[in-house]
Each structure stands twice: as structure tokens, then as C-alpha cells.
Amino acid sequence: MRQKELEIPIRVNKIEVVLKRLLKSYPKYQEISDEFGRRMSGYRGEQSLRYHLTFLKEKNYTIFHNLRLPDISGEHFFEIDILLVNPAFIVIIDAKNYRGELYFDDTFNQLIQTYQDTRKSFQCPVAQINRHQFQLSKLLETFKLPTVPPIETLVVFTNPNAILDASKDFKYSHKIIKSPSFISKIELFEKRNRNKVLDKKQLQKLSKMLLKKHTPFDHDILAHYGIKEHELIKGVRCPKCDFLPMVRKHRSWSCPNCHYSSSKAYIKSLHEYILLYGNSITNRRLRDFLDIESVSTATNILSSLNLDYKGSYKDRTYILKDQDLKSEVNLL
């Protein structure tokens, strides 16, 4: 049973929009781009693991994708790609879709990736998953279940072409697999955890509590990276080829790259606005973000969207609705 479905996390969408509106020469561009790559790799890894999850004995497992849970300090969160819960035990799964040769270096607790003559160092995913195991067990203690089930951990490399290797003293090889070994590893966990510690009611309670504690990342992404307003590229993005900015021509926007033209081309850019700034917008903020000079053009856009608003005419704040914008995008 799936309690929480797989979808691209909002944080990944936010980072993507930031990247698309920064110049490549921006000092932190590479750092942000690397983070995006890492998070997308996790998402793609999870996507490809879905196939292997279908071989689980369905009714024995509850599956949660992308849980973001608070640790007991309440100040920090930890993110779990996939959590499997069954009456006897829990599994934390970290999915990685890394390419190339992957070498686990125990001395410095790092994962070194060699791909197309480039070497990169990542934090060791086993160290991370061990930390998550500790954080989750502490969190579960607060759920007041009669017993906290044993927590197993697994790092799954989902790219079939990845080559795994480890230093001789690396202690955690048993926690690392490639996707095809997934089910046999789960069967091993089943064999060593035969004792059912949760009944149906307690399982339901556990699921409910996990969903209640799940806190999607909803921070101000610009503040998170310290990006200043003037550092973003403003304007209307072409909904067909992604080019930024389109040019305003005869009551319409025209793309200098693919020559697509539409009077409603701004809809896609308003999605981006929501990811960067949230749902409130004013006439001035709209002009600034879409790089429109005319107050009346902005007024026309806002009234055509039929938005709810607060405040008097002059300093009116409108509320953008992501769902409504999505259905309009399909019409472009």
C-alpha cells in the first residue's frame, strides 16, 4: 500500500527555477547546479526503484516516498527517499542514480565518483543513512508505540552502468546494493526480523503520525541561497522552448529563439513566481518579475486571471492559484 506517492519534491522544482533565472557566471551557480543534480539523481533513482517495489508482498508493506521529518530537537529535518513499514520492521532506503565508477573511501568517509575523466567527492551515503536511522528511532520513541520496530537501512544504486568499489577497510558493503538485488535483500530482512511487534491498529497509528510529522520544504529559496532580487533574470519565459526573455510585440509576447508568439505566454512564468515568492502578487511585483513597463498591461493580466484579492484598488494584493495556472498552461 502506498501512503505517500512519488512526485518531484517542491524543493527540486524551486531549485530548478532559481537555476533557470541565474546567469551561469553567478558565483554560487555551480554549487546550486550540483545540488539540483544530486536531488534529481535521487528522484530518478526512486523512479526506477518503483519497478522493484512492485515485487514486494503488497499487503505486508506500507510505502512512503520522500518523507521530510523533524528530528527530536525540532530544529532540523531529515529526508528519507523511501520508507517501508511492515509489522516486524522498518526499512530506510536511499536511492542514488549516480553514473560512472563509485568508490567508497572509509578513511575519509567519502564517496568518490569518476565519470568522463572528472572526479567528484560526495558525502558517504551510508554515513547519512546511519544518521537517519538514529534520528528516526528517536522520533519513533515519541510516538508512544509499545515497541519501536527494528530499523534496517539500504543504499540502492539504480544506474545499471554504475561500477561500485570500496576501500579494503570499508565496513558497510552489506548496506549497499544495486537495484536487481533489492528483493533478495528485503527477503533477508524478513528472515532476520520475524517477530511482529506492531498490530494493525499500531501500524495505522504509525502511518498517521509519520504523515502528520511530514513537513514539505517550503522555505524562501532565494533567502536560502542568499540570492538578491536584482541577481535574477526577469521577463516572460517562452513556454515552448524555455528561452528567456520573450519580447513584447503587438499585445503579445514573441520568442526571439523559436518565434512562438502568444498573448498568454506569461502563464508559465507565473508558476515560477509562485515557486520563488509564494502566492501573493501585486501589480508592481508582476511588472517587475515579468519585466513589463505598462501598469495597464499588468492590470489586464491580473483581471484576466480572475484572482481573489485583498486590499483597496491602489495597493491590492492578488492570490495566484497554481492549479488554475496549470490548466491554462495546457491551453498554450
- Give the interface with Zn ion as residue ranges (CB under 5 A): 238, 240-241, 243, 255, 257-258, 260
Question: Cα–Cα distance between 330 and 271 in angstroms, integer?
Answer: 13
- Of the two residues 225 and 243, which places its CB atom closer to Zn ion in the complex? 243
- Could you tell me the smallest distance in angstroms from the CB atom of residue 253 to Zn ion? 10
Long-range contacts of 16-19 (CB under 8 A, 24+ apart): 17/221, 17/272, 17/275, 17/276, 18/221, 18/222, 18/225, 18/227, 18/232, 18/276
Q: Residue 176 belongs to what H/E stretch?
A: strand 176-178
- Could you tell me the smallest distance in angstroms from the CB atom of residue 267 to Zn ion? 14
- Of the two residues 6 and 265, which places its CB atom closer to Zn ion in the complex? 265
Check the CA dihedral 181-186-191-192 and report its sign.
positive
- Could you tell me the smallest distance in angstroms from the CB atom of residue 242 to Zn ion? 7
- Of the two residues 15 and 255, which places its CB atom closer to Zn ion in the complex? 255
- Of the two residues 133 and 262, which places its CB atom closer to Zn ion in the complex? 262
Q: What SS3 state is found at 319? A: strand
- Could you tell me the smallest distance in angstroms from the CB atom of residue 288 to Zn ion? 22
- Could you tell me the smallest distance in angstroms from the CB atom of residue 18 to Zn ion? 21
- Of the two residues 77 and 260, which places its CB atom closer to Zn ion in the complex? 260
- The sheet with strand 101-105 has its strands ordered as 118-123, 110-115, 101-105, 163-166
